[in-house]
Structure 1
């Protein structure tokens, strides 16, 4: 187990290095000059050149990357080009809304998707299975922003059950916090639930045909125990895999959902930073999201070995 953990940590470090290099080069090759944006439309070339020199943008790319990489290792993400506030401070101010939305989405998606998939596998071609087919088709085909605007129009504007937009910190008003996050959570969860449910159903159908399941049925083991204890555990590796892959969808979906519902989270922060070519914020947010994605997938990979010890070797 220790050797397996060391191999996974080494591969994780290599992935983060490649991600950092990709993010750095992608921003430097993208159109738009942050110095020109800061200087304004009426600025002279001399003023723009002075700003570029102050920001270190005239240094060779290797020097810029080494300086940036060293700062990342020391958890120093620099200051915003426009507000001149530390990037870590800006991230800390926007972290709670994004974590709240992501955590609620994961809880709703995993619990609903797994249960939905298990029930669909319980009676193939039954009513639940057919409803899953329809729900999956809708969940995969409807974009996040379309689902968001539809839910706002129907449940917030029409029925007035929930607030239209905004975010209230949980320490200020827990009730308003949860009511403002219900619609965004449902919006972000729809396709994720469909994905988890489909994979859970497929994995469960493969397991349900095994001999030990027939033996448990013949012995009179309760159906709930067979489904959620014996079958689901052995079908868990593909389900965990799709949960880990869905984290990437969740990260991208958060940006759109926060924009639709005007939630002041990290998604809105990076949209504003991209419009302003604010390199330190963009790099900090992308590295934070990439690190979270890699860490979650590392934990999921380690959990494989708990479900199936053969994976350790």
Structure 2
């Protein structure tokens, strides 16, 4: 067990190192000069050269990479070339709305998606199963920003039921906080609900076809016991894996959804 954990740790560090090198090279070798952007259009060559020297852009790439990694490990993410403010400060300002939207979306996606998938597997070929197929096609094909604009139009502009945009901190009350997160949560969660529901359905169908499930049914086991005590427990590994992967993707997808709903 200890050897397995050590191998996983080493492989994780190796992957993080490769990703770090790739991101660094992507930023450094991309077209454009950060010093020119910071200095502005009216800057002289001397001003641009001074900024390059200050930022260490004249150093060799290996030296720049070492400084970049050491600064990040020390909590220094640098200064934004667009706003002129510390990057860590900008990240901390977005932390609460990002986590709030991500966690709410994950709760909605897991609750509805797993329930929908279990019902579809239990009544395969029935109405719920057909509805899941239609909903999955809709959730996969319609972009998040389109769903967001539709929700804004109907629930904010036409009916005035919900705020059209913005974010209310949770310490200001659960009501305003939740009201401003309902629409972005639904917009972001539809695709994840469809994904989790399809995986849950497939995993449950595979388990329900096993011999021990037929034996349990022959012995008179209740539907609840068969679904939750036997089938869902054995089908849980792929479902949990998909939920973990979905949450990782969700953190990145939140940024676009926050932009659509103008959450600062």
Residues 209-248 of structure 1: pairs in structure 2 closer than 5 A: 209-248=209-248
Residues 138-287 of structure 1: pairs in structure 2 closer than 5 A: 138-264=138-264
Q: Alpha-carbon deviations, 1:95-123, whole Å to 9, x = none?
A: 00100000101111111111110000001
Q: Alpha-carbon deviations, 1:146-189, whole Å to 9, x = none?
A: 11111111111112211111001000122100010000011110
Name the structure 2 match of 1:11.
Answer: 11
1:74 aligns with 2:74: yes
CA shift, 1:89, in A, is 2.6
Q: 1:13–1:248: structure 2 CA closer, same or farther, 3 Å change rule? A: same
Task: Give TM-score, length-normalised by structure 2.
Answer: 0.95
Moved more, 25-34 or 82-91: 82-91
Moved more, 248-257 or 133-142: 248-257
SS of the residue 1:171 aligns to: helix
CA shift, 1:246, in A, is 1.9
Task: Give TM-score, length-normalised by structure 1.
Answer: 0.80
Residues 40-55 of structure 1: pairs in structure 2 closer than 5 A: 40-55=40-55
CA shift, 1:13, in A, is 1.2
- Measure the CA separation in 2 of the matches of 1:139 and 1:84: 39
1:113 aligns with 2:113: yes
CA shift, 1:32, in A, is 2.4
- Structure 2 gaps of 5+ residues are none
Q: Alpha-carbon deviations, 1:129-148, whole Å to 9, x = none?
A: 00000000000000111111
Q: Alpha-carbon deviations, 1:14-41, whole Å to 9, x = none?
A: 1111111111111112222221122111
Structure with the larger RCO, 1 or 2 (CA within 8 Å, 6+ apart): 1
Name the structure 2 match of 1:99.
Answer: 99
CA shift, 1:83, in A, is 4.7
- Measure the CA separation in 2 of the matches of 1:260 and 1:68: 32
- Measure the CA separation in 2 of the matches of 1:119 and 1:262: 36
Name the structure 2 match of 1:124.
Answer: 124
Name the structure 2 match of 1:279.
Answer: none
CA shift, 1:252, in A, is 3.0
When Rg is computed on C-alpha atoms for both structures, the one with the higher figure is 2
Q: Is the 8 A contact 2:207 2:235 kept in 1?
A: yes
Q: After the TM superposition, which parts of structure 1 deviate over 6 Å for at least 4 consecutive aligned residues?
A: none
Moved more, 211-220 or 193-202: 211-220
- Structure 1 gaps of 5+ residues are 265-313
Matched residue pairs, number? 264
- Measure the CA separation in 2 of the matches of 1:37 and 1:72: 22
- Measure the CA separation in 2 of the matches of 1:244 and 1:41: 46
- Measure the CA separation in 1 of the matches of 2:178 and 2:169: 10
